[in-house]
Structure 1
Amino acid sequence: MKHRITLGALTAAVLLAYAPAYATAAAAKPAAVEKAPAKSDEAAKKQFWTLADEYYDAIAKYDPVGATQNGDNRFDDQIGSAIAPATRAKQFDLYRAFAKRLQAVPRAQLNRGDRISYDVMAFELKTYLAYEPFPEHLLPIDHMGSMPVTLANFSSGDASQPLTTVKEYEAYLNRLNQLPAWVEQAIANMKEGVAKGITQPKAIMTAALPQFQKLVSETPEKNIYFTPVSKFPASFSDADKQRLAAAYRATVADKVNPAIAKLAAFVEKEYIPACRTSTGWNALPNGEAWYKARIADSTTTSKTAEEIHQTGLREVARIQSEFAKVGPKLGYNGPAAGLPGWIAQQPQFFPFKTDEEVLDVYRKLDKVLDTKLPAMFTLIPKAKLDLRLEPELSRDTASDHYTAPALDGSRPGVFWSVVTDPKKYGSTGMNTLYLHEGKPGHHFHIALMQELDMPKFRKFGGNTAFTEGWALYAETLGKEMGMFEDPAQYFGHLSDEMLRAVRLVVDTGMHAKGWTREQSIKYMTETLGDEAVARNQTERYMVWPAQALAYKTGSLKIQELRAKAEQALGKKFTLAKFHAIVLGDGTVPLALLETKVDAWIASAK
């Protein structure tokens, strides 16, 4: 899944300091599951919701492109200046002011749902402020994401930014007009980063350079940012078409194309030669503390890098034992670790000739799931799920992902399938992938969030441990639905699980234990059997430290809580109810999720 506005968590100490609800399950009755007052105080509710709305708007205005990607299109004409040092400093001041105002809200007088939102806001604010010492703005671009590439992907109108009305065309044009200033700030930041020893790894920027070079064109008409002009809706008047075409042509020719050309030249001639040759975040100034903050944010726990590393090694061993069982069913009798590599060499597992054939399989899966999921879920989102191919520009570096529906229902949730070459698109992992990115993974969680009665900062925010943990847990439901009876599909499920387990090993290996990029690629290739995947994933973890740790951490916690509830409730346990408990209050840190499940167990008994 693509990044949403990341609102993770810091540490267990933060939980205890700011939100009694997040106390460990061993503590006395947590506040998050206290009985709500007989009648919540309307003045307190109004005070909290007013604060919550202002808080969300402050986040959305700071990162308006992130708001667009989350389905909030109110700021589609802005790109923001979050990478500007002065803007960043003001934002941290805002967070401190919000934290102070939140403490003035009488939490005890709020109803249950608002108490949860109160605690989540306190949690998020503490997390945001934890990043203040770390100059992330000095790393404004990488191969996984940058403002120029994001806006280029918006140009088709098929992504998060709609292009169907004159006003929407003007909004996107306004963003393009702001792009040169963003580029100038990014270059200034990278120069400062070079002076301070804070740069991206050289291998990363070498991979990113072609993206920026592709964004430069000989004429404005050949430029990707000019794409909207070639797709004018028939409803536009001739006058509007002529006016907009002239405006887009001038903006691309006089502003955007020169700015991107300057960025590409800077990256190639100045930045890459000055980039560090090291791999991990711990090679940066204060890098060890920086990585710890990212682990806490991503996992919403106080786990150490070493704990996570060991969990990864145990999971890799467990999954390889499953490989040993499924291999013979597929005609493979070699060592378990070699199964992924053998699968990659078998033509029967690569049956596709066209992109459309790939999408057809996902469309059939969608229909099958529509018949099976109602038995497992009472909470099902109203928003539809669409299936689309990833835009060509970002196919080489993107992974299959999901984007949220628009809050007003004007755009469905979308599962983006990344097909760079259909002949190389493996079929074994498709069931698992759709369970994760589509139903009942991201779509059931994120689309449902937008339908719940909660403040916008929760509808559009979240934390990675819950979001990706839920989606990874959703994959495991395929076994109960009979979707892994085909040994090839069960291998695909195990293979995806292995990827998430390997992440725990190599992410902590690179950023905390001194592993090199080459070590990570070698370990992943030996474990996953695919050097291209190993290289792609390694380079992803290099620029998104700790983000990949959230998947397994969250999934293992949900599986642990389900087993706990099944054992405690016996025949009283119902899977649909468990899923409703997990999803019913939206995204929460893992400790709060545990208190919710514990409270359900206690009440059900």
Structure 2
Amino acid sequence: MKHRITLGALAAAVLLAYAPVHANAAAAKPAVAEKASAKSSEAAKKQFWALADEYYDAIATFDPVGASQNGDNRFDDQLGTALWPATRAKQFDLYRAFTKRLHAIPRGKLNSGDRTSYDVMAYELKNYLASEPFPDHLLPIDQMSSMPVTLANFAGGDGAQPLTTVKEYEAYLSRLNQLPGWIDQAIVNMKEGMGKGITQPKALIEAALPQFQKLVSDTPEKNIYYTPVTKFPASFSDADKQRLSAAYRATVADKLNPALSKLSTFIEKEYLPACRTSTGWSALPNGAAWYKVRIADSTTTSKGAEEIHQTGLREVARIQAEYAKLGPKLGYNGPAAGLPTWVAQQPKFFPFKTEDEVQAVYRKLNDVLDTKLPSMFTLIPKAKLDLRLEPELSRDTASDHYTAPALDGSRPGVFWSVVTDPTKYGSPGMTTLFLHEGKPGHHFHIALMQELDMPKFRKFGGNNAFTEGWALYAETLGKEMGLFEDPAQYFGHLNDEMLRAVRLVVDTGMHAKGWTREQSIKYMTETLGDESVARNQTERYMAWPAQALSYKTGALKIQELRAKAEKALGSKFTLAKFHAIVLGDGTLPLALLETKVDAWIAATR
């Protein structure tokens, strides 16, 4: 009887024996589901990043020179064929295909950072496709940018295309050999534009023509594209020097000089006489819709031209009220609107005699900022910032600007100052200019982008509203750092703010409200006090419709978000954290930036 087990006991024993197993199985279900979910998320991540890499390479192949300028030197031997209508059509087909493939990826399976990149890609693709009906390729040159001048500015090896190795010399030579084909297609496109009434304004081509004429030389050795041969690194072997010298000489003599001569003759004899005498984009076929698309692309908003125009007028009035307070501190007691003109006439604000004196001021300011910025920023790029003068060829039409460092660290970020005549280089605007183009403006944003863990299209891409908006916002930090205690430097800050406000008025005025070039120059001269700046800037906006709208639109949004965060968080608000939130995910459309800041406020509060 000792071993007798009743049926009930057996059943109980069986239940007891299996109870732990059933419990483990129940516990295992979430673990299995969690494992499956993680596997699904990892698959979605791989799918998205593979698509993102393919998407970026498609953009970089389409515009390889743009890739070089953004710090990606993998395509330095290519010019791209974006001017060719067939290539352009294929690119838009690619955008449609990428859109379809992107939407097939389960966004909800991605982590937070990848969801942001997903949304940015969706936004970019929508913008690219919106521009398809508008033939930008029929306007391949202007006084601000063109492939021949861009490559000429690379010739010294100080720009976005490095010239330090034999391979890099060969890459640049490859681009030079492709330039005649680009010129031929540009002429074909301009002729088509002439037939369709799609040409540049005559004033812009009159300004651009001397650039192209300067590119033609009597001998190969005098040509700017031959410059690399005069700067061979000492490490090059004699054989490489001889081979490259012969190759560059042949390319310039047999291909470039004839092609550039053909281009300058065509522009002078055929294109210039056919150019339009109108000013704004609305004068082009379907120009109003074209400008609307450009506004959306530049500002990343749905704002209309009239709303932006009125914002500009309000900002102009606000800044002129600040002029009224500042004028007496500078020794000026006239009408507020006349302060810029008065400052422009005072010799004490133009103290320089040499380019080196100008650069010395920027170098000193750079050192000062190194001591002040760490209290405002926890995110600081590792890449260094170099200070250089704009190459002589493009000084007459260029504006001070920034170029990104190389991704591999071989080239720093560069602030390029445009010093055409040192005696006419005004000192009041230098602090604000450096805050914008140098640090913490473009350098802290663009160089940092390359160090963040995000797809290449994010590292090397972006939008103007965030990029220029951040740089304009960065100017305002000068007041908090005590850099505007000198009334002259504060005037320089206000004057630059005025420039950005005036841009909203004249850009929309010319391209949507029928303003003429002369009307814009007059308005800008009256508000900025400098006719040459007014003319240069007016013609810049004529060439790049809506680009100038991005600065103020972006800056006002960042200032609005900071004020919202300060009010909501009170003592929990820190400026360094706000800056880290704004910069930490790279360039974003303004709506996505606002969503991100709102989420941070909610989480912190």
Same fold (TM over 0.5): yes
Structure 2 match to 1:511: 511
SS in 2 for 1:484: coil
Cα deviation 1:536-593 (Å, max 9, x = unaligned) = 0000000100000000000000000000111111111100010011001000000011
Q: 1:371-397 CA deviation, whole Å, 9 max, x = no partner?
A: 110110000000000000000000000
- Equivalent position of 2:385 in the other structure: 385
Q: How does 1:326-405 map to 2 (within 5 A)?
A: 326-405=326-405
Q: Deviations over 1:21-77 (max 9, x none)?
A: xxxxxxxxxxxxxxxx98871100000000000000000000000001011111101
Q: Which amino acid aligns with 2:325?
A: K
Distance 1:306 1:324 in 2: 28
What do the CA deviations read for 1:424-478 (whole angstroms, capped 9, x no partner)?
0000001100000011000000000000000000000000000000000000000
Could you tell me which residue of structure 1 aligns to residue 412 of structure 2?
412
Structure 1 CA distance, aligned partners of 2:522 and 2:469? Answer: 26
Q: Confirm or deny: 8 A CA contact 1:215 1:260 kept in the other structure.
A: yes
Report the equivalent of 1:52: 52
Q: Residue 265 in 1 paired to residue 268 in 2?
A: no
Partner residue, 1:151: 151
Match of 1:244 in 2: 244
Partner of residue 585, structure 2:
585
SS of corresponding position for 2:386: strand
Q: Which runs of 5+ in 1 are unaligned?
A: 1-36
Secondary structure of the 2:387 match is strand
CA distance in 1, matches of 2:433, 2:458: 26
Pairs within 5 Å for 1:488-507: 488-507=488-507
Q: Displacement of 1:120 after TM fit?
A: 0.2
In 2: Cα distance, 1:313 partner to 1:75 partner: 44
TM-score, normalised via structure 2 length: 0.94
Question: Between Structure 1 and Structure 2, how many residues are aligned?
Answer: 569
* Identity fraction in percent: 86
Residues 77, 170 of structure 1: 8 Å contact kept = yes
User: 1:297 maps to what in 2?
Assistant: 297
Report 1:68-147 matches (<5 A): 68-147=68-147
State the distance in 1 between where 2:373 and 2:424 align: 30
Q: Give the secondary structure class of the aligned counterpart of 2:311.
A: helix
Find the aligned partners of 2:356 and 2:86 in 1 and give their Cα distance: 48
Q: Which whole-Å CA distance do the structure 2 matches of 1:256 and 1:535 have between them?
A: 32
2-structure distance, mates of 1:370, 1:188:
51
Q: Distance in 1 between matches of 2:112 and 2:295?
A: 29
1:546 maps to 546
Q: 3-state SS of the aligned residue for 1:168?
A: helix
Deviation, 1:329, is 0.2
Letter in 2 for 1:110: L
State the alpha-carbon separation in 1 of the partners of residues 38 and 517 from structure 2. Answer: 58
CA-CA distance at 1:505 after TM superposition: 0.1
Instruction: Give yes or no for contact 1:40–1:110 (8 Å, CA) kept in 2.
Output: no
Q: Secondary structure at the match of 2:415?
A: strand
Q: Pairwise mapping of residues 160-175 of structure 1 onto structure 2 (< 5 A)?
A: 160-175=160-175
Code of the aligned partner of 1:428:
P
How is 1:461-480 mapped onto 2 (pairs within 5 angstroms)? 461-480=461-480
SS of corresponding position for 1:387? strand
Taking the aligned partners of 1:244 and 1:163, their CA distance within structure 2 comes to 12
Aligned-pair distance for 1:101? 0.5
Kindly indicate whether residue 562 of structure 2 is the aligned counterpart of residue 562 of structure 1: yes
Structure 1: how far apart are the matches of 2:565 and 2:206? 49
Identify the residue that residue 432 of structure 1 maps to in structure 2: 432
Please give the secondary structure, in 1, of the residue aligned with 2:453. coil
Match of 1:450 in 2: 450
Cα deviations across residues 246-282 of structure 1 (Å, max 9, x unaligned)?
Answer: 0100000000011000000000000000000000000
Taking structure 1 as reference, are residues 352 and 97 closer, same or farther at Cα in structure 2, changes over 3 Å only? Answer: same
In structure 2, what is the Cα distance between the partners aligned to 1:548 and 1:328?
31
Larger radius of gyration: 2
Q: Which one-letter code corresponds to 1:332 in the other structure?
A: Y
Whether the aligned pair in 2 keeps the contact of 1:40 and 1:111 (CA below 8 Å) is no
Match of residue 527 from structure 2: 527
Q: Does 1:224 align with 2:214?
A: no
| Counterpart residue type for residue 72 of structure 1 | D
Work out the CA distance in 2 between the residues paired with 1:397 and 1:39: 55
> What is the CA distance between 1:418 and its match in structure 2?
0.4
Rounded Cα–Cα distance in structure 2 between residues aligned with 1:80 and 1:566? 47
* 2:81 counterpart SS class: coil
SS of aligned partner of 1:348: helix
- Aligned with 2:141: secondary structure? coil
Cα distance in 1 for partners of 2:372, 2:171 equals: 42
What is the Cα deviation at residue 241 of structure 1? 0.6
Following the alignment from structure 1 to structure 2, what is the Cα–Cα distance between the partners of residues 449 and 246?
A: 40
Equivalents in 2 of 1:40, 1:233: separation in Å?
Answer: 52
The 2-side partners of 1:394 and 1:99 are apart by: 39
What secondary structure, in the 3-state scheme, does the structure 2 residue paired with 1:406 have?
coil
* CA distance in structure 1 between the partners assigned to 2:81 and 2:591 by the alignment: 34
- Answer yes or no: is the 8 Å Cα contact 1:169–1:228 preserved in 2: yes
Unmatched segments (≥5 aa) in structure 2 = 1-36
Alpha-carbon distance in structure 2 between the residues aligned to 1:332 and 1:261: 52
**Paired residue secondary structure (1:75):** coil
What does residue 28 of structure 1 align with?
none
Aligned to 1:421: 421
Tell me, in whole angstroms, the C-alpha distance in 2 between the residues paired with 1:192 and 1:270.
12
Please give the TM-score of this superposition, normalised by the length of structure 1.
0.94
- 2:310 paired residue number: 310
Contact (CA 8 Å) 1:69, 1:161: kept in 2 or not? yes
Q: Is the contact made by 1:95 and 1:128 (CA closer than 8 Å) also made in structure 2?
A: yes
Give the letter for the 2:403 counterpart: T
CA distance in 2 between partners of 1:95 and 1:368 (Å): 46
1:58-69 correspondence runs (5 A):
58-69=58-69
Q: Which residue number corresponds to residue 5 of structure 1?
A: none
Q: Which amino acid aligns with 1:87?
A: T
**SS, match of residue 41 in structure 1:** helix
Corresponding residue of 2:188: 188
> Runs in 1 of length 4+ with deviation above 2 angstroms?
37-40
Structure 1 residues 206-225: aligned runs within 5 Å:
206-225=206-225
Whole-angstrom CA distance in 1 between matches of 2:554 and 2:40: 32
Q: Deviations over 1:181-231 (max 9, x none)?
A: 000000000000000000000010000000000000000000000000000
Residue 255 of structure 2 is aligned to residue 255 of structure 1: yes
Deviations 1:359-415 (A, max 9, x none): 110010011001110110000000000000000000000000000000000000000
Partner amino acid, structure 1, of 2:524:
M
Task: Write the distance in 2 (CA, Å) between the matches of 1:598 and 1:250.
Answer: 60
| Contact kept in structure 2, 1:402 and 1:442, CA below 8 Å | yes
For 1:402, what is the secondary structure of its paired residue?
Answer: strand
Partner of 2:600: helix, strand, or coil? Answer: helix
Deviations 1:165-192 (A, max 9, x none): 1111111011000000000000000000
Given the superposition, is the C-alpha separation of residues 54 and 38 from structure 1 closer, same or farther in structure 2, using an over 3 Å criterion?
A: closer
* Partners of 2:172 and 2:72 in 1: CA distance: 14
